[in-house]
Amino acid sequence: MRRPPLLNSVAVLFVFLLSSADVVSGAKAGPAFPRDNYVAGWVRSERTLRFERSNLFDYIDGGAELFLEFGFDVLLVQRYKESNAKGDDEIALEIYQMESAEAALGIYLTKCGKETPVGGIKERNSGDRYQFSIVKGDCFIQVNNFGGDGKLMPVMLKLTQRTLASIPKGPPVTLLSRLPEKDFISGSGLIFRGPYALQSIFTFGSGDVLQLRGNVFGVTGDYAGPEGGVYTRLLILYPEPKAALSAFENLSNNLDPYLEVVSRLENGFTFRDYRDKFGTVELKNDVMEIKINLPEKPETTER
């Protein structure tokens, strides 16, 4: 369930000029920006920017929907530059405070792609000389090196380490453990909470056809199938059986027209997509389990 915003949203767009203090806290205790000269000569080059739900579109036009869907609270941005340097080298630190550790991990997994961990960072991360992405507690952090100069990697690393030291570890996220382990392909796990995240996985219908409503988490992962094939499994974790049944009925009645139902099952159905791949939908108490990309129609007891 969403927590109420910690500050009242306003209709107009705005950016706060934060104090010139060395430590800048977000809406919740934790994140703090490193002081000037965290590496000799590197100082804050601009004022700290703060974005809330009402004006996040000002900073990431075209991508804010995904953050809002997962559950976004506050974004803090601080740029750093080497004092007295003649070049244009600049590093930007972005701290996205999400409403929960689950939301932070969800946006991290969606944004990082195939993980390539950076040495020297203890928390889960992925990065290269252009960008580090890290998740810790309820924060998703990005460190951007716009020029991509590899010599700035140590500066990015120190900035990351100093920042992470100010963020609480937070509770462990166990959502992905709901996925069965047998034949699971490591590194394929994702979290979704609405149609924006889901659209990169599969199209089941228009709008929020699974009735996730930004407060129901789903998890997905790839599995090794027979003869080297790979299929994908999704589990949508509804708060109660009634909500799961409502979503199942909505999906049944509004299934994408490119999906053809080929058989009805007990508490579910089998469909064929436009690529002649098969999928199954099965209601299991408060969980809806969906399999897609099956090469053949599964053997089931039809109704």
Q: What CA–CA distance (Å, rounded) separates 31 from 207?
A: 35
When pLDDT is cut at 50, 70 and 90, the band that residue 167 belongs to is: very high
Find the DSSP H helices in the chain: 64-70, 101-112, 153-164, 195-198, 241-253
Average pLDDT of the segment spanning 202-228 = 94
Q: What is the pLDDT of residue 300?
A: 67
Exposed e or buried b per residue across 156-183, where buried means at least 16 C-beta atoms within 10 angstroms of its C-beta = bbebbebbbebbeebeebebbeebeeee
Per-chain mean pLDDT for the chain? 88
Q: In terms of Cα–Cα distance, which of 174, 168, 294, 154 is closest to 237?
A: 174
pLDDT at 71 over 50: yes
DSSP letter assigned to residue 167: S
**Residues 175-198 pLDDT 10s:** 999 999 999 999 999 999 999 999
pLDDT at 12 over 50: no
pTM of the model: 0.86
When pLDDT is cut at 50, 70 and 90, the band that residue 113 belongs to is: confident
Report residue 266 CA to chain centroid gap: 33
Of 82-86, 149-153, 157-161, the one with minimum mean pLDDT is: 82-86
Residue type, 104: A
Rounded to 5°, the CA angle 286-213-209 comes to: 80
